[in-house]
Amino acid sequence: PEARVNVKLVAEAGVGTIAAGVAKAHADTVLISGHDGGTGASPLSSIKNAGLPWELGLAETQQTLRLNNLREKILVRTDGGMKTGRDLLLAAVFGAEEYGFGTAAVVATGCVMTRQCHLNTCPVGVATQDPKLRARYTGKVIMVVNYMRFVARELREYMAALGARTLDELIGRTDLLVRRDVPLSEKAKTVNLDFLLTPVDVGSRIHTVPRNDFVHDEPLDNQILKDAARVIEGKGRVKLSYPVRNIHRAVGARLSGAIAKRHGDKGLPSGAVDVTFTGVAGQSFGAFCVNGMRLTLIGEANDYVGKGMAGGELVIRPPDESPFAWDKNVIIGNTCLYGATGGILFAAGRAGERFAVRNSGAIAVIEGLGDHGGEYMTGGIVLILGETGRNFGAGMTGGRAYVLDRERVFEKRVNLELVELHRLEGPEDVTNVRALLERHFVATKSNIAVTVLTDWEDYQELFWMVVPRGAGAKLEQVVSAKEG
């Protein structure tokens, strides 16, 4: 509950309206991101053609927020190729109170802009997990510190020239800007930038409200915290049950925070807080789940299930009386297990797109998924008992995935740039898959799990194992599938 919510928006026409919605949705900060800068993994077509300068998006955002009396409720931040004190001065005058440095700060520590961030081949060891390449990294904290000090010094010089003692005096002061007359091409002369300097005299220029919180918000977790208070303090176990609706977002996150605050990474004993939900969960069900939690959802969930989870167990399955084929229907949304570092997920149904993106330690069993599964995985185990979409394993540099390929089409859908395919080659992998299948059945009563286990000899040869290129079957077991 003490966390601040930050929402990133791309500078484009109409971004002011979106920023107003972000403020009304009670975010604490809105970031207007310009077209410059950005990840070195971006496609060249995006680098050259996507997005607009941050000045355009920021000016529109500031004007729209003021016109709707929302500016005082939310901090405005901007980024996109920030390099100098003059950049910060202009950003402040256009309405931003905070400023993001990405590329320039990384360059200060030794990045040479080879744009190989997504290939694990960074020659100076900045964006790679290869130990030999990482050994080349010579960056030190003081390099970034010195760079920021010089940026701040230049900004102070500009402020002194303007007679401003604090940056707050300059925020939103577009009346201080004068358009420079320069020779323009015929095409450039057709661009009208007058709106950038349009004065707005209503509402606050700057952010004044400490937090942009809901006044009458009562998350489901507040009730869970009350009912599980004794266990959170480390005393005994508890089993709880609640109906859940899609208005209940991030169910379990506050519970995770309370446990982590008292017990750290160790958390509580397995299943100490065992909660069953019935219904349709909103976004981010089980986000940041920690050791000691077992959350079971009988129903379905929206996007971001298990986002950032570090431990514990999530079980999602349809009601027993559901007439449809579980493994043919979607039960959880997009981008599930995003950035997970631990824990285990059993879902008796299909997932949407971008499943297990940046997973670095969680175990998951799912019965099919959409495009971009396993993207940027660096660890963990994913068992998929059904079809995947295209581009599976893009940017995957660690962990492993087991995919049941009954339709024999998976070879055409995997991205082989960084990964390679093997059949189940060793007893370790067979044990992993069988153990996960058994646990999946116990947790969810999955029909497909029973089918595969019953006819194991036939199904075993249909599994593919996806591992980072060069790892092959010798990849160390990430975590024992038998662990409970």
Picking from 347, 443, 357, the residue whose alpha carbon sits closest to that of residue 399 is 357
**Is 206 in contact with 257 (CB distance < 8 Å)?**
no
- Other Cβ atoms less than 10 A from the Cβ of 475: the count is 17
**365 neighbors 440 (Cβ within 8 angstroms):** yes
Report in angstroms the alpha-carbon separations of 95 from 52, 111, 211, 363.
17, 30, 19, 44
Pairing relationship of beta strands 75-79 and 29-33 according to DSSP bridges = parallel
Contacts of 305 by beta carbon, 8 Å cutoff, 6+ apart: 284, 285, 286, 314, 316, 332, 333, 336, 337, 345, 347
- Are the CB atoms for 399 and 383 separated by under 8 Å? no
163: left (phi over 0), alpha (psi -120 to 50) or beta: left
The identity of residue 15, as a single letter, is V
Q: DSSP per residue over 167-226, as a string?
A: GGGTTT-GGG--PPP----TTGGG---GGGG----SS-SS---S----SS---HHHHHHH
* 457-477 pLDDT tens trace: 999 999 999 999 876 544 444
Sheet strands (E) in 87-171 = 98-99
Which strands, in side-by-side order, build the sheet including 29-33?
6-10, 29-33, 75-79, 98-99
Question: What is the b/e burial string over 252-263, where b = at least 16 CB atoms within 10 angstroms of the residue's CB?
Answer: bbbbbbbbbeeb
Q: Please, are residues 409 and 386 in contact by the beta-carbon 8 Å criterion?
A: no
H-helix segments, 50-122 = 54-67, 85-94, 103-108
d(CA 126, CA 64): 39
Strand-pairing partners, residue 412, are: none
* pLDDT tens, residue by residue, 426-455: 888 999 999 999 999 999 999 999 999 999
The structure's pTM equals 0.76
Token pair in block for residue 447: 């029909």
Taking alpha carbons only, the member of 373, 367, 273 closest to residue 324 is 367
Nearest-5° Cα angle at 43, 41 to 48: 120
State how beta strands 463-468 and 398-404 pair.
Answer: antiparallel
Residue 252, by phi and psi: left (phi above 0), alpha (psi -120 to 50) or beta?
A: left
Give CA–CA dist 435/413, Å, rounded.
Answer: 26
**Per-residue pLDDT in tens (0 to 9) along the chain, 484 residues:** 888 999 999 999 999 999 999 999 999 999 999 988 766 667 778 777 778 899 999 999 999 999 999 999 999 999 998 999 999 999 999 999 999 999 899 999 999 988 888 888 999 999 898 999 999 999 999 999 999 999 999 999 999 999 999 999 999 999 999 887 777 788 887 888 888 888 898 889 999 999 998 887 789 999 999 999 999 999 999 999 999 999 999 999 999 999 999 999 999 999 999 999 999 999 999 999 999 999 999 999 999 999 999 999 999 999 999 999 999 999 999 999 999 999 999 999 999 999 999 999 999 999 999 999 999 999 999 999 999 999 999 999 999 999 999 999 999 999 999 999 999 978 889 999 999 999 999 999 999 999 999 999 999 999 999 999 876 544 444 344 444 4
Phi/psi at 129 (5° precision): -110, 5
CA distance 348 to 346: 7
